[in-house]
Amino acid sequence: MLNGILIIDKDKGMTSADVVYHLRKALHIKKIGHAGTLDPDVTGVLPIAIGQATKLIELMHERPKKYIGAGLFAYATDSYDISGSKLSEKPVTKAISAKTIKQAMHKFEGEIEQVPPIYSAVKVNGKRLYEYAREGIEVERPKRKVKIYSYELLGEPIFDEEKSEEQFNFMVKCSKGTYVRSLVNDLGQKLDQPAVMVGLRRIESSGFSIEQAVKLSEIEANPERAAELIQPIDAFFADYEIHELTEQEWNRVKNGATIQVKTHAKKLALRYNKKVKAIYQKTSYGYKPDLMLLTNQ
């Protein structure tokens, strides 16, 4: 049975749930889940946990994500991308310099408060924001704290004098829960020039990159390729300190017992027979179970 993380390069037009559904059918495996929802219009890295790796999904969410995208100064929409209805419009009559855009972008770096777009899956009173939006009901959107590790301009912005608009490309590295659409919209507000996101691609997530990704269609055409391309569970713990278990320690770990290890690491990846079998965390009385992966083969 497959155990590990399959990195899918999601195509435009599919939901993350669609990808999981198609993989279940192609691989004949029920135990599959994704880490980090991508909007249908967004492409790129969608990590898919299979088998025992589904236990890692919460941990996978915690790792930073990286995107490349494009924004347009000219107008703003209710969805913060081009699929929405226009809320405001302001022609760009003079080119906005790269320096001005960069300075504004850097002001968003660090821990910030963000208001999610009205067309988003955030829940308020058990109902998703996009459901309120479709019904035309106004609702207060909850602010959330997110971390922006970097927000950078890629290349020179492109000013189109004839269309009175300016396009810019960017790269963002951010924490879970960040809406990149909001970053584009908020950048426009900061520059007093309405802006909208016109494209987005995730290039890193959960510690995996687009170079490791495969198209869903390739797996559907050749399901046996999944076994070749899947990232082992152990790859996710590459930056953890490894402790090789003795036979005696392994017998204790199998029963969820604490073990004594001479190290100062807060968390340890415990390995037996060349496979990570558990993640243990430090306590005042030794190391105790944090995550069990006993059937990782």
- Give me the half-sphere count of Cα atoms (radius 13 Å) on the Cβ side of residue 44: 22
Residue 128: per-residue pLDDT: 79
CATH number, domain at 12?
Answer: 3.30.2350.10
CA distance 106 to 169: 15
Number of structural domains found in the chain: 3
Judge if 281 and 230 occupy the same domain: no
Which of 215, 234, 253 is a domain's end point?
Answer: 234
Are both 189 and 112 inside the same structural domain?
yes
Q: Is 85 in the same domain as 109?
A: yes
- Whether 239 is catalytic: no
Same-domain check for residues 211 and 279: no
pLDDT per residue over 65-89, tens digit each? 999 999 999 999 988 999 888 999 9
* C-alpha Rg value of the chain to the nearest Å: 22
Tell how far CA 159 is from the center of its chain: 31
Amino acid at 58: E
Best CA proximity match to 254, nearest among 234, 238, 270, 243 = 270
Q: Mean of the per-residue pLDDT values for the chain?
A: 93
The amino acid at 119: Y
* 153 is a domain residue: yes
Which pairs count as long-range contacts for 92-96, CB under 8 Å and 24+ apart, including other chains?
Answer: 92/159, 92/164, 92/165, 92/166, 92/193, 93/164, 95/157, 95/159, 95/166, 96/157, 96/159, 96/166, 96/191, 96/193
Task: For residue 18, give its domain range.
Answer: 4-63+206-234
Domain co-membership, 193 together with 110: yes
In the set 9, 11, 18, 39, the catalytic residue is 39
10, part of any domain: yes
Identify whether the C-beta of residue 103 lies closer than 8 Å to the C-beta of residue 78. Answer: no
What pLDDT digit, counting tens, does each position of 188-233 carry? 999 999 999 999 999 999 999 999 999 999 999 999 999 999 999 9
Which CATH number do you get for residue 279? 2.30.130
pLDDT band for position 133 (50/70/90)? Answer: low
- One domain, residues 179 and 156: yes
Instruction: Provide the pLDDT for residue 193.
Output: 97
Tell me, yes or no, whether 149 lies in a domain: yes
Average pLDDT over residues 5-15: 96
With respect to residue 113, please indicate whether it lies within any of the assigned structural domains.
yes
Same domain, 192 and 220: no
What is the biggest distance separating any 2 CA atoms in the chain, rounded to whole angstroms? Answer: 75
Q: What is the pLDDT of residue 137?
A: 73
Q: Apex CA 175: angle with CA 169 and CA 180, to 5°?
A: 35
Q: Is pLDDT at 297 greater than 80 in this prediction?
A: no
By three-state DSSP, how is residue 127 classified?
A: strand
pLDDT tens-digit readout, 146-191: 999 999 999 999 999 999 999 999 999 999 989 999 999 999 999 9
Residues 210 and 163 in one domain: no
Last residue of a domain, one of 187, 202, 217: 202
Binned at pLDDT 50, 70 and 90, residue 296 comes out as confident
Confidence of residue 106 (pLDDT cuts 50, 70, 90): very high
Q: Which residue has the higher pLDDT, 295 or 287?
A: 287
Question: Residue 27: what pLDDT?
Answer: 95
Residue ranges with strand state E in the chain = 4-10, 32-34, 43-50, 65-73, 75-77, 86-89, 110-114, 123-124, 127-128, 144-160, 165-174, 195-205, 208-209, 241-244, 267-272, 275-283, 286-292
Q: Is residue 241 part of a domain?
A: yes
Domain co-membership, 81 together with 189:
yes
Domain ends where: 185, 202, 219? 202
Tens of pLDDT, residues 116-131: 777 777 777 777 777 8
Residue-wise over 33-46: b if at least 16 C-beta within 10 A, else e? bbbbebbebbbbbb
d(Cα 243, Cα 263) in Å, to the nearest integer? 10
- Residue 246 is assigned to a structural domain of this protein: yes
Span 22-57, pLDDT tens digits: 999 999 999 999 998 898 999 999 999 999 999 999
Q: Is residue 80 part of a domain?
A: yes
Which residues have CB under 8 Å from 126's CB, separation 6+? none
Q: Are residues 171 and 213 in the same domain?
A: no
What pTM value is reported for the model?
Answer: 0.91
The answer to whether residues 73 and 161 belong to one domain is yes
Mark whether 108 and 229 lie in a shared domain.
no
In a domain, 297, yes or no: no
